[in-house]
Each structure stands twice: as structure tokens, then as C-alpha cells.
Amino acid sequence: MSQGVLDVITLPFRQGLLAVDEGFLIRGDFSPSLEATFGRSLVAEQTYQPAFERLRQAGIRTTAQLEGRHSLGLCVLTQHKLETFANIARAYSHLSNGGVLVCAGQNSLGAATYEKAVAKLAPLLGSLSKAKCRIFWLARAEEDLDAWSPWLSYATPRPIANTPFVAVPGTFSWDRVDAGSEFLVAHLPPGIAGVVGDLGAGWGFLSWSLLTRYPAIRQLDLFEAEKLALDMARANLAPLGDTRQIRYHWSDVRDGVGRGSYDWIVTNPPFHREGIQDVELGATFLNVAAAALRSGGKLVFVANRHLPYERTLKASFKTVSVLAENGTFKVLLATK
């Protein structure tokens, strides 16, 4: 998230156009500008665990699910279109009558488009542009939320076509099975058993595939930083009625998942951060997996074919082999 957006969202308050009041922040992160402007007067709704933790450590009241009505709301626009529409509508619904909603986003993420769309539903009170970001604000004038209902619906789980799964907009690959994960599942090795970890579990496709194919799995731990996705994983695994131990961890894999406790780890590690390739992010997942596996434990994962993860693996694993590859992906198996 751009710190510029978090600075810009305070602009109308710093310029005296709006008054600071008790309120909430949706999809924001900690920033010195927010703290200087609002102090501790905001409650922050954040479902991405690293941002949640930064806000919490800064002493800001933090929740994964906003409640109640407030006189002021701040909403940070994200790169996910439907999630952003849902967040704007949810923010509006959490305003008291006459409450003010302030929205801010990067121009590159379509902030002007959101501004025009909002203006069709409610009159805007003002707007500003600065630092390649756009900010606009409006007030809740009445109880009627009918006009916002289509946007509010984007916050509810949606079926993924041709699958038994559901996901919610804003989570990774929310409307389809990710091609990399599908390739990994098609080439999983035999013998996955014991205590297994799924790093970056998303809405649960890999975990579902493991539980339905490998009865010798005794315990499966899902690690996922985005709570919206982890909640979908719970929903997608629930119909299995599995008697094996399944544990859900809302956590940042980069912080570690334990040491020497897993027989197998399966992952489709991320390699982008806010749309920019970040090979080190994926390498961190692999290093965390290495630390979490017992001696002789195995890591199986999928990666884009061009990513040089073999060098990372050689430092921690005795053997590394390619189980499958095509023009886009490769599936690797590493033994500690």
C-alpha cells in the first residue's frame, strides 16, 4: 500500500475542510500522518494480518470486522475493483445519518473511476488530487441503502464456476482455480502423510486437494495472511466433515511457522507484491518451509518456470528434483 494514499487521505482535515471526529478506517495501514491527524480516535478494520499487526502495535484499536455506526469513515481504495466497491458501500452503511465518508486511492488504481461511480449514488461534498492520488468525500443523508445493495453484494462469498468452492472478491484468484495451483495438484507425489503444512493457503484449494487424496495425513495446518481468504478456506473444507485435525492460522508466513515439526509442506508461494515481481518473497516462503520441516521432511511446490528458486533450496535441502514442468510452471520436490 502506498504511504502516499495514507498521507493524502488526511489532507482535507489538515486543510480545515473537514473536522476530525470519532470514526473508522477500512483497508488502511499505520502511517505517521494518520496518527498525527487522528491520534487514537479511529478504529481500524483490517483483514490483512501484517497491516493489522502494524496498526495494533501502534496502539490503534484494530478489528477484522467493523461494527456499529460512526460519524466519520475513511476508506482506502485497493487494486481489487469489486472489493473496493464493496468496501465503499460497507463504509457508507457504517455511517450514522449525516456522517462523512472519505475515500482515497492511487490514480493508477482507478481512483477517478470510483469517484465517478460514487457520485452517481450520492452527491459528493468535495474532492482533491495530490501525489498521484485522488480523494473524495460524501455524507450519508438517509437510511435507505437500496442504491448501494449491488456493491454490498460483492462482500459476500461467490461460487467459483465449475467447482464446489466459494470465494470472496479481493482474495487471490477469487473467481477461478489458480493455474499454478492446478498444475501443482496434478503433479503431487505419492506418500504425502503425517503432519502437513499449507503455506499461503488462500481459499483452500490445495488443502482440499490434499485432504481428498491423501488419507494418511494426520494433521493439516493452513497458514494465510488474508483473513477473508482463510474464512473461505474454512467454508470450503467444512463439507468434507474430516475427522483429521485441521488447524487454521491467520498469520504472516514470513514470520515463521515453527521449527522441525512438519513431515510435508505444500505451497504455491507468492512472487508479487502490489503487482510488482518480488522473487525474495517466494524465497522467504521456501526458507520458512525449510525451518519448519523435520529432518527428512519434504517440500513440494509450484513456481513460474523462470524463477531461480533452485539456488535458494540448495542451502537447506539435501536433494532437489523437478517433478513436472511445462512452458509456464515447474513443480519441485525438495528433501531436507
Please check the confidence at residue 1 and state whether its pLDDT lies above 60: no
Among the candidates 127, 155, 183, a domain finishes at 155
257 and 139 assigned to the same domain: no
pLDDT-derived band at 142 (thresholds 50, 70, 90) equals confident
CATH code of 237's domain: 3.40.50.150
4 or 235: which leads in pLDDT: 235
Note the pLDDT of residue 2: 64
Coil/strand/helix, residue 80: coil
96 and 230 assigned to the same domain: no
Distance of CA 255 to the CA centre of its chain: 16
pLDDT-derived band at 149 (thresholds 50, 70, 90) equals very high
- Domain extent, residue 45, equals 3-155
Note the pLDDT of residue 228: 98
Please check the confidence at residue 266 and state whether its pLDDT lies above 60: yes
Q: Calculate mean pLDDT across residues 268-286.
A: 80
Q: How many domains does the chain have?
A: 2
194 and 52 assigned to the same domain: no
7 and 67 assigned to the same domain: yes
279 or 298: which leads in pLDDT: 298
Please check the confidence at residue 273 and state whether its pLDDT lies above 90: no
Following CA atoms 204, 205, 206, 208 in sequence, which dihedral angle do they give, to the nearest 10 degrees? 80
174-193 pLDDT per residue, tens: 999 999 999 999 999 999 99
pLDDT-derived band at 275 (thresholds 50, 70, 90) equals low
147 and 227 assigned to the same domain: no
Q: Is residue 222 within 8 Å of 205, Cβ to Cβ?
A: no
Element (H, E) at 32: helix 32-38
User: Which burial class, exposed, middle or buried, applies to 42 when counting CB atoms under 10 A from its CB (0-12, 13-18, 19+)?
Assistant: buried
Average pLDDT, the chain: 95
The DSSP bridge pattern shows strands 158-159 and 166-167 to be antiparallel
Note the pLDDT of residue 250: 99
28-49 pLDDT per residue, tens: 999 999 999 999 999 999 999 9
Among the candidates 131, 155, 179, a domain finishes at 155
Note the pLDDT of residue 276: 63
236 and 97 assigned to the same domain: no
Largest Cα separation within the chain, whole Å, is 65
d(CA 322, CA 334): 9
262 and 320 assigned to the same domain: yes
Coil/strand/helix, residue 312: helix
216 and 324 assigned to the same domain: yes
- Using a cut of 0.85, tell me whether the model's pTM lies above it: yes
Note the pLDDT of residue 61: 96
